[in-house]
Structure 1
Amino acid sequence: MAFSLTSKHYTLRGCILSAMVQKIDTSWTHAKIDLNKHLGNNDGAFDIDGVGWYDSAEPGSCRLKGTSLCAELRMRDGEYAPEVRINLDLFVTNHDGSLRFRKPSWSILVSSACLVLENATLRGIVLGRDGQYYPSEINLDEHYGNRGGAFEVGGGSFSLSGKDFRLQQDPEAVKLVAELMDYGGVYRYAEIDLSKSIINQNGQLAFIKYDGWFNKDHWASVITDEIPVIGKAIASLYHAGSHEANAVKELLCQKNSPLAATGLVLGSLIGRALGSPAIGAILSSTLSSPAMLAQGRILNMMAARDMGTCGEDKEAVLGMAVFDTLRELFASGAGAYAAARFDAVNEAELNSDRSDHRLYGVDFWMRSLRDALLQLRPVNAFLEDFSMFTMMKRVLTLLQNQPVEQWHMPLHNFASAIEATKMLGSSYQAEVQPPETLVPGQTYTIMLHGTRLAVTCVEGTSHVRLRQFGGWATQRFQCVMLRERHMGFLFNPSDSSHPSTQTDDDPFTANENGSSGAGAKGRYLGYDSTGTLTCKATRQRGWEHVGAVADDSQRLPGQEQAYMLWMARGTDSLAPVSRVSGDKLRVMPASFTYFSFLNVESAEYSNVLNCLERVSDLY
């Protein structure tokens, strides 16, 4: 389940899915899986019970779109069907650095969603063999009876002698709860676990008589086991109570970006409302993806410049991402079942003693996330004026093929903002402004925002690393202002005898004054032919110019402004500097990593460090 939450750089070559995946110890490793051994072709549609889909696919049609496998498959008549998709996050898991294919359980705890009870009928959507959720229902009166005020499996017509029927769901059970009449005519509390006998049978709800052998899966253990590092925190978000705040804090600690953590939490809470951790995990992946993070930063920029209506813009952009994901997962008619479930959950939440009635229904669940984000960013919090309830009502409206006129203008504004700024193109160069906090000639360290990791040029090499900041001279850069409002950073290396110094066979080339070796100066922060940052440049050229774009919405308590660091390429267009692994930085065509600048010559240097230590506790 949801391999992409702990994977990056996933690609498809033929039928082989490859990715860099995170292990339980947080290290990264390469993994791959042959999808042809786990998926089949059923008359032009993917089939999780078959194998060999690639052998009957139209050559050149196989591709990845996000986490969805797309292909044109041959039908029984020999023609190729239109392109079909299947979301691999439903089936591919990261097992401590190894990609594995997990066929869905027949337990309704894992492979169903949107379960609701209407009189004696259980309705919901159930995962089918093609990776879509199909509407299904089953009449419980045909399989359960009333025996002396208690439910009886294999009986019938329990509803004729009962009242107050309702569902209660938790990680281990789907309980039918009611007041049943005993032999004396007295109504007594009764409950029975439906998940022992109601199963998913090829995308339909079905009944089997429980005889003690059925080992059902529990979704809490599935999430914890199949999503390394963050699985436990995500599973905690499905519990009502004090677990939510701790889970949110842990996700903020695990993720480098508050926006990514926000996406993880939002996806999980939507999955909780729909009664499906699998759907929640897929939405978490969508809402924390690099593409979504880039959109989130554009939304923050729009809010800072009053380029739209902040709350409506965020609702529309996030809502369309949720809609696109659910539309791919849901078969025809499933949207109505999801809407019924969402309404039932909100009504129950509003009627509970736990709910804060100033927040409508599921919006109460977001309180812990809002509080945590406001602690990190008291200015312009991303979820300000945002209602998950309103967004989901409009998403579910779209899923039932009805228009949402309220989103037309916000989506138009957002498209205009992308076109106007062209954040990934050369025209964004006009936005670059040297940070006012940097003084030419002063010595700074470049900090990874929200941590104590600093950019380091390792002594005796041209390598750049991110290291735990300790005030060493190897982590100091002299700021130089250049033409066209750009900056340069002149490396100021340490004495080679310092304990933080490392040696390497790749010595510095001669600097501008002709000297070389340990203690040499004059190396600018630049990048090599692969885009990896280095300190080997002997003089500043155009493609080594640095831009720093301030983003006030990312400011942390007690810390200086947050900046997006850019490098000017040979074309003089700007590209963002991004963190690609634990300690490496590269110039990328997309994606951002936030930085801050710390003046190591300042008398307030130690106070700033103390503040950074407190902030790092949040991560």
Structure 2
Amino acid sequence: MIIGGTVGCPVLGAVIGAGLASPAGIFAETQIADRLIDDPRVRADIQEANAERYIFETFRNMIAAGAASWLAGYLANLNMSQISSFFSRVAVKVVQNKGGNIATDFGAYCVFKYIINALRGGQIKSWEDAEKAFEKAKEEAGEKSEVPSTVLPIAGCKYAIKIWGTNSAFTCVDNTEMRLRYYCGSTTQRFRCTYYEGNMGFICEGADGGKGRYLGYDSYETLSCQAYYQRGWEHINVMSEEGGGYKLWMTKDDHFAPVQKVNTDTVKMMATSTTRVEFVKVG
């Protein structure tokens, strides 16, 4: 939403599917690096790379959400001063609001070229170097377990949806019901991310004997896997949380409502929620 608002994207679904769903793992890396790395130059390199990766991930998911033509036109018309202003605004709003410490003047023009190259499938050496430095710091400090396995869902990819920090996964049972079960890699625990008319959805391909059904909710607002098609009740939004993980929101009437784990195996839509989930890529 922050990047979408900064660039003025008119495609609401793209903003919901990309800007709101910022990659929590990137900010977790920045916070861990601040603790583990004493060298200020290395720490700054990681902060800079993470800010660049954040913008890249958001642009990539805006494209996946159907805003490719608009985004290409916007980027093509930027001049040097606008490029600098754009990255400064995003760095201040996004990174500082998420707890980061990156400065705003980190070479906007070079960053712009890096991100365009990455969107074209190129490799960014500074990102790779920063990742290696981060991995080395983790190994030396023995803090591998602090980095979440969660990723931002991308259309076409398959995920296990787990309660944050646990092995309790969304599982389709009895063909159409959704319950929390210990994750074992079953096809009824694999959800393919989709986008329909700018809205995110998840289809459990193993549901109903392999016919596949979309994650949604029933008349009691309990999460289920009933529909063969993505309609209103199957539109989903994910929002990153401070400290890692995502809040899962379902479309209800003209707004989104969060989901909450209400007992050992049931998840429902509620007025408020403290439940976080993670998306582990499995295909």
TM category (shorter chain) comes to 0.3 to 0.5
More helix by share: 2
- RCO higher in structure (CA 8 A, sep ≥6): 2
What TM-score does the superposition give when structure 1 sets the normalisation length? 0.22
What TM-score does the superposition give when structure 2 sets the normalisation length? 0.47
Please tell me whether Structure 1 or Structure 2 has the larger radius of gyration of its CA atoms: 1
